[in-house]
Structure 1
Amino acid sequence: MLRLALFAVLFACAFSAPNVEVNKFEDIPEQYRELIPKEVADHIKAITEEEKTILKEVLKDYAKYKDENEYLAALKEKSPSLHEKAKKFHDFIKAKVDALGDEAKAFVKKVIAAARKLHAELLAGNKPSLEELKNTVKKYVAEFDALTAAAKEDLKKHFPILTSIFTNEKAKALMDKHLPN
């Protein structure tokens, strides 16, 4: 999920210009698509245009939902098919997070919460500033670096792609490009 969160932030950095519109997975430049885990890409591709409209509508009220279950209930009310897709993805991620130890789990939950908030803001048409995005990425990179070796190993075991964001040359190049010191 860290990879997804960092991707979301980098994606937002890259597409924060007002004239760039990404409506489908294929609109994402290849260098960014390569960083998206297969399960996330499949989830994105499965959402129809009608469902995207519903998703944007529901996410405009993101702050009013107390938890993930309220959000999923709102989706179900608007679109049972979208609810099923979201629930399947939610359950997939939850199982992976639940398999983590306490330190790694706490870290991933913070990153997921930040990524969901950012995603909701973007879908609602609220674009954070480039400086806010940079600070968010730097914060989570620093928090990852501060994890114990055991927590990093735990993340690597349960999210093997996740830790590659810090060793993958393409990912490093994108972060360096969009997050200069």
Structure 2
Amino acid sequence: MATVLSVSGSPSVSSRTNGLLRHLDQRLLAHGHHVVPLDVRTIPPEALLGADFRHPAILEVTELFARADGVVGSPVYKAAYSGVLKALLDLLPQYALRGKTVLPLATGGSTAHVLAIDYALRPVLNSMGATHIVQGWFTLDQDITVHEDGSLGVAPAADEALTRVIDHFSAALGRTPLLAAAG
């Protein structure tokens, strides 16, 4: 099965986005995939903000992208994905997503941000050469509860929808070698 790089673009330690991604990581593991979680906020700020392409952390992340298919998740800020995610994507090679199947995920406070996936994130993923960008998914913050013990609760309707999204992504990952070979 595929290796999935599960990228959280949230700058917050107690992020609903991060919690949701780690919850979905478990589902991907159940599909038999190898999952590598990456929290962009853990990359040294001097590497991201200083655009230090040669920083060991940036080189390591570049290698993770080279070896994996990606799940990109980000909270929505000002109708777009997070600045820390943008800073990271700007430091990756131009075609870092070539041959990859990508699932763009976002979380946000209102349905007014639903289009951020298609109008903000998808064009960047396309420009980075993603072979297959599956249908993205937006989850409302109100449908995600992070409990004091760190566990996550997802509203039943949202959880059901996310199950379908992960099933679709997992199936698409199985087709990645054929798509990459054809391109």
Common fold: TM-score over 0.5: no
When Rg is computed on C-alpha atoms for both structures, the one with the higher figure is 1
Structure with higher helix content = 1
Structure with higher strand content = 2
Using the size of structure 1 for normalisation, the TM-score is 0.30
The higher-RCO structure (CA 8 Å, 6+ apart) is 1
Using the size of structure 2 for normalisation, the TM-score is 0.29
